[in-house]
Amino acid sequence: MVIGGDAAGMSAASQARRLKDPDALEIVAFERGHHASYSACGIPYWVGGDVDGPDQLVARTPEEHRARQIDLRMRTEVTEIDVAGGRVRSRRLPDGQEVWTGYDKLVIATGARPVRPPLPGIDAPGVHGVQTLDDGQALLDTLRQTGGRRAVVVGAGYIGVEMAEALLRRDYQVTLLNRAPEPMTTLDPDMGELVHEAVTGLGVQLVDEAEVTEIRTDEQGRARAVVTSDAEYPADVVVLGIGVRPETALAEAAGLPLGDSGGLLTDQAMRVRGHSDIWAGGDCVEVLDLVAGRQRHVPLGTHANKQGQVIGTNVGGGYATFPGVVGTAVSKVCDLEIARTGLLEAQAREVGFQFVTVRVESTSRAGYFPGAASMTVKMLAERRTGRLLGTQIVGREGAGKRVDVAAVALTAGMTVEQMTALDLGYAPPFSPVWDPVLVAARKATRAVRADAAG
């Protein structure tokens, strides 16, 4: 039995079905929304008009799942897990009918919910999260019905920045309210500054260090402005991109173990700790950060898919593990590519690392080659050992996916000096003769040596 019909849940169901016939394994899945198996990451591009939706974002329809003998029950919300009794209670949303259903093996894939700080007006019509396809549809409906052209996006993480761009493409005047000193707190502030320039260059009004205190509504109760401690920003639509929290109320009520972030705690095989017949994956779990050596909440579709695959393999009688993450993320604002992996400075400090940092400017192609675009690479290496701790890249075309090299090096525990010898692809249309990641690794190697000598 699977609770939650998106990436992790349906990947698990599909993989288990691949390994076991319906005779050997019956699969029931509950999804409270109107859609299953979709790409939530695609929502900003749907809103922006780059992608038709919502069907384009659906990897597999409920009918396709059912054709593969997965009993997917849409618009059905699980309201209670009875761990001792091995059963869950569910409610059909259209008619409110409730039933208890027993399970031998349970997969919890309840995802995440957008953070909604307890502010006046936060639940008013015209205030939208963008976590599910239903959220995306609701936002598009509002945009269609709204006369005005003023949008305020709260939160300047990657979702906020992507939504700001999407609304700009819909010809909105966009204000982006950012609590931190620079946008993209998934980057160090000095790298976030590069994103600041790009975002304002697009025509977005970016307000840093903005503390939202209220969503002001009109007499009909509709959101009309976002108020901060300093100012008031008129809004015909408000989008929340503040981040998400694990959706684990059900699990908590059932007494399942949660971590500091509120995410479920699992073992290597993605079983909920202490429960041999319950698995959990996707945005509702914490994962091991292999660099920090700590559990963290890292809600990303790519992890959800991998974890679902691991769960499905194990539930289907095979063996697979999810060892953890190194914190890789890429995103894009217009033609600016933003990437990070490993630890930021503050994160490295928090877990007790001492380190050197370097920053280099390089280009995506040989300097003389047409289309060569500049790129900034920042690298953190541990003092003494020289072990790579993190890499951040901001640049134009060809910048973002270069972070994968650092992600693999982190996984392998390489030092920055070992990285300088990496045999990366070189040809003038693809890279300078020293790839930008290698240029950073060379500089980091010198910094580690100088630190050790000094």
Catalytic residue annotation:
41
- Applying CB under 8 A, among 123, 229, 323, 350 the residue interacting with a second copy is 323
DSSP 124: S
H-only helix segments in 219-364? 249-253, 301-315, 345-350
Q: Does 32 bind a second copy (CB under 8 A)?
A: no
Mask: binding to a second copy, 136-175, rule CB under 8 A, as x and -? ----------------------x-----------------
Side by side, the strands of the sheet bearing 237-240 are 127-128, 237-240, 150-154, 173-177, 205-207
Q: Report the candidate in 373, 376, 378 with the shortest Cα–Cα distance to residue 394.
A: 376
Tell me the closest approach of the beta carbon of residue 266 to a second copy, in angstroms: 14
Asked if 421 interacts with a second copy (CB under 8 A), we say yes
366 binds a second copy (CB under 8 A): yes
Asked if 348 touches a second copy (CB under 8 A), the answer is: no
- Farthest CA pair distance, the chain: 73
300 sits near a second copy (criterion: CB under 8 A): yes
Chain residues 383-412 in contact with a second copy, contact rule CB under 8 A: 398, 400-405, 407-409, 411-412
Residue from 22, 351, 361, 426 touching a second copy (CB under 8 A): that is 426
The C-alpha atoms of residue 139 and residue 130 are separated, in whole angstroms, by 8
Q: Which residues contact 144 (CB under 8 A, 6 or more apart)?
A: none
The pattern of x and - marking residues 226 through 255 that bind a second copy according to CB under 8 A reads ------------------------------
Nearer to a second copy, 278 or 405 (CB): 405
Per DSSP bridges, beta strands 127-128 and 294-296 are unpaired
With tokens 């005047």, the residue in question is 173
- What is the spatial distance between Cα 352 and Cα 389, in angstroms, rounded to a whole number? 12
Q: Which stretch binds a second copy (CB under 8 A): 25-33, 126-134, 355-363, 423-431?
A: 423-431
Structure tokens at 198: 């790009």
Q: What are 38's strand-pairing partners? A: 58
Q: Are 22 and 50 in contact (CB under 8 A)?
A: no
425 is a contact residue toward a second copy (CB under 8 A): yes
42 binds a second copy (CB under 8 A): yes
Strands 374-382 and 388-395: antiparallel
Nearest to 402 by CA among 376, 380, 428: 376
Q: Which of 306, 387, 396, 443 binds a second copy (CB under 8 A)?
A: 306
What six digits make up the tokens of 243? 């981040």
From candidates 305, 347, 376, 415, binder to a second copy by CB under 8 A = 305
Does position 450 interact with a second copy (CB under 8 A)? The reply is no
Q: Is 167 exposed, middle or buried (0-12, 13-18, 19+ CB in 10 A)?
A: buried
Exactly one of 19, 20, 25, 51 binds a second copy (CB under 8 A); that residue is 51
Closest CB to a second copy among residues 148, 367: 367
Which residues sit at the interface with a second copy, rule CB under 8 A? 7, 39, 41-42, 45, 50-51, 56-57, 158, 300-303, 305-306, 309, 321-323, 325-332, 337, 339, 341, 366, 368-370, 398, 400-405, 407-409, 411-412, 414, 420-431, 433-435, 442
